[in-house]
Amino acid sequence: MPRSVGPGGLPQRAHLWLNEGFPTPGLPLRGAPHRCPAMKTIQKSSKLAHVLYDIRGPIMDRAKQMEDEGQKIIKLNIGNLAPFGFDAPEEVQQDMIRNLPNSAGYSDSKGIFAARKAVMHYTQQQGIKAVTLDDIYLGNGASDLIAIATNALLDNGDELLVPMPDYPLWTAVTSLSGGSPVHYLCDESQGWIPDIDDIRSKITPRTKGIVVINPNNPTGVLYPDSVLQQIVELAREFNLVIFADEVYDKVLYDGAKHTALASLSTDVLTLTFNSLSKSYRACGYRAGWMIISGDKSCATDYIEGINMLANMRLCANVPGQWAIQTALGGYQSINDLVCEGGRLRRQRDIAYEMLTAIPGVSCVKPQAALYMFPRLDPEVYPIQDDRVFFLQMLEATRVMLVQGTGFNWPRPDHFRMVFLPHETDLREAINRIATFLESYRNKHARSVA
């Protein structure tokens, strides 16, 4: 941050005025600046002790500082499509604008009728059975509904099975809900597929549910139906609620087909999460939905809890809700981006080829989503602290990545990369990463010799 600028972008001097009682015209002169007698520090809640969200963490804070100093950063840290020229469909934007005058009031806490009806029809296309309007909730993105669903379910000490690596919101909200995230292994040697034996070995009397992220963030993997079926069987056997996070269900490459987990049973209670953020390139609209399916007769109390929490936050952003019906119907422009020759698919291929050409870097090729989760061979890159490593990479290259431990991966030997920038920027970014890794290898080889 330049020296003349203080917090909140205010000039340094203005910041001092605000803190020290600069005379305001028309108001009586205030006395000496007020100071707390004991200067007691204000601490964050201990509930945050196990909360981690490094996609927007210290590396991003440093990148912001560097930007304030005038440096240009290539941001490969977050799946935010619009800044890279992936526009939301025009018809969706227009319909939202047209409905803005009808959006000033709170809506029903579950959301507006037209959007929920469109989501209901979508569940019918996906083969999810017996979903009524009442089973559909709209939220401020999937994130809002994920927090509601976990808070309504978990008592202190209850366990939720969460994948490892994960999209870290799941681990964070589980902890914040008072629950304990228990991580099950997605096995890189098997193409990052969930390890069913590992899941089974981690189920205890306190296990309430299992989170399945498919297509997966951060690995970009799509799970085969046989694995999904085994997860459903486990959930049935141990009476677990399934949380199916499917926000990338239309971002699929190489002709891959996604199966909605909820379509595989009519009995297991399944909460499915989706949104306009990724498939419709509208992260900022904050428009998401949750579908409750399966046997709801055993979950009336849980559903009452969900309704209470949905009511307490009144409703989701109403302009964003108006975008949902238009998005889900009609032409699906995401298909133009993921097909052969499409921009996303081309960038996936470039990123995969360039990264895996770097010595000591390997990667399962993503079949879906916007990410890769490459491995840095610890023999070649003996990294001790991956957050420090990627902070150093940012400073040296002006390329921002997120370290693997930011996704609750237990070892400092992976990172996540977003392949959203245009081809020229993507190539430039990976070339800089390659140069940084080369200098690390050289330094390490010298220190070993």
Ligand X SMILES: Cc1ncc(COP(=O)(O)O)c(C=O)c1O
- Chain residues binding ligand X by CB under 6 A are 79, 141-143, 167, 213, 217, 245, 247, 275, 277, 283, 288
Task: Tell me the closest approach of the beta carbon of residue 382 to ligand X, in angstroms.
Answer: 30
Contacts of 65 (CB under 8 A, 6+ apart): 1
C-alpha distance from residue 284 to each of 181, 274, 275, 329 (Å): 28, 14, 11, 20
CB of 122 to ligand X, least distance (A): 15
Distances (CA, A) of 428 to 67, 74, 148, 167: 18, 9, 41, 27
Nearest to ligand X of 57, 382 (CB atom): 57
Q: Which is nearer to ligand X, 344 or 354 (CB)?
A: 344
- Which C-beta is closer to ligand X: that of 282 or that of 437? 282
Q: Buried (b) or exposed (e) across 197-236, using 16+ Cβ within 10 A?
A: eebeebbeeebbbbbbbbbbbbbbbbbeeebbebbbebbe
Buried b (16+ CB within 10 A) or exposed e, 45-83: eeeeeebbebbebebbebbeebeeeeeebbbbbbbbbee
Residue 14 Cβ vs ligand X, minimum distance, rounded to whole Å: 34
Helix (H, G, I), strand (E, B) or coil at 63: helix
* Residue number closest to ligand X, CB atom: 141
CA 49, 55, 59, 61: dihedral to nearest 10 degrees?
-80
Is the Cβ of residue 253 or residue 440 nearer to ligand X in the bound state? 253
CB of residue 20 vs ligand X: minimum separation in angstroms? 40
Cα–Cα distance, 79 to 91 (Å, whole number): 22
User: From the CB of 183, what's the least distance to ligand X, in Å?
Assistant: 15
Name which of 143 and 177 has its Cβ closer to ligand X: 143
171 φ, ψ to 5°?
-65, -40
Quick one: 55 or 185, whose CB is closer to ligand X? 55
To ligand X, the closest distance from the beta carbon of 218 in angstroms equals 8
Query: How far apart (Å, rounded) are the C-alpha atoms in residues 337 and 250?
Result: 11
In the complex, minimum distance from the CB of residue 52 to ligand X, in angstroms, rounded to a whole number = 15
Judged by beta carbon, residue 216 or residue 397, the one nearer ligand X is 216
